[in-house]
Amino acid sequence: MRRVFAVAACFAMLATPPIAGASDLRRDIENDIERAVREIKSAIDRKVKESSDACRKENQATRREMESMRLEIGKMQGKLDNRRESEATRREMESIRRDIGKMQGKLDNRRESEAIRREMESMRRDIGKMQGKLDNRRESEAIRREMESIRRDIDRMEGKLNQLIDLVKRSAKG
């Protein structure tokens, strides 16, 4: 009869639940990580949109200016073709050519902005990959802590079981 009680006590010890709060901690960590990733993504999206809008406006203004200058160059070319050229016309055409060179530089800057946008998109993808790795690492750490807790519980229960076995042996002898 004593053996039945000893075995029942062992099963009762084995049925104790794992340490509470580990899953809440894990959920809090996951929520913090997800919120940080959303904030980073929204900041990147805002910067990309701002940069894209500024480039678009600058590009439109540059196009209008270039069209205006093309018309002026056409008029001046007509003057030259008609052999009514003057030194002032040549100087103005050189000035317009310099202005077109400056505008070409602005267009080159827009192309650089597009390259930056592509690089930011690539960085956004890299952040997503790192987020996945970080989630896996944190999840592994939480599982490792839970397993250590379970090992400690098993060791504690094993000690209690050994005590019960000794108690049963002593009571059987006695």
- Residue 45 pLDDT greater than 70, yes or no: yes
Looking at residue 20, the DSSP 8-state letter turns out to be T
What phi and psi, each to the nearest 5 degrees, are found at residue 16?
A: -65, 140
CB 110 within 8 A of CB 59: yes
Give buried/exposed letters for 128-150 (b at 16+ CB in 10 A, else e): eeebeeeeeeeeeebeeeeeeee
pLDDT digits (tens, 9 = 90+) for 128-145: 777 777 777 778 888 888
Q: Count each helix (H run) and each strand (E run) in the chain, helices first.
A: 3, 0
| Most confident listed range (31-40, 83-92, 102-111) | 31-40
Count Cβ atoms below 10 Å from residue 55 Cβ, excluding itself. 20
**In this predicted model, what pLDDT tens digit does every residue of 97-138 receive, in sequence order?**
887 777 777 777 777 777 777 877 777 787 777 777 777 777
Q: Which residue has the higher pLDDT, 79 or 34?
A: 34
Q: How far, in Å, are 29, 45, 133, 140 from residue 128 at the CA level?
A: 17, 14, 9, 18
Instruction: Write down the pLDDT at residue 174.
Output: 65
Structure tokens at 45: 């999206």
Tell me if the pTM is above 0.85: no
The whole-chain average pLDDT of the chain stands at 76
d(CA 38, CA 27) in angstroms, rounded, equals 16
The pLDDT of residue 63 is above 70: yes
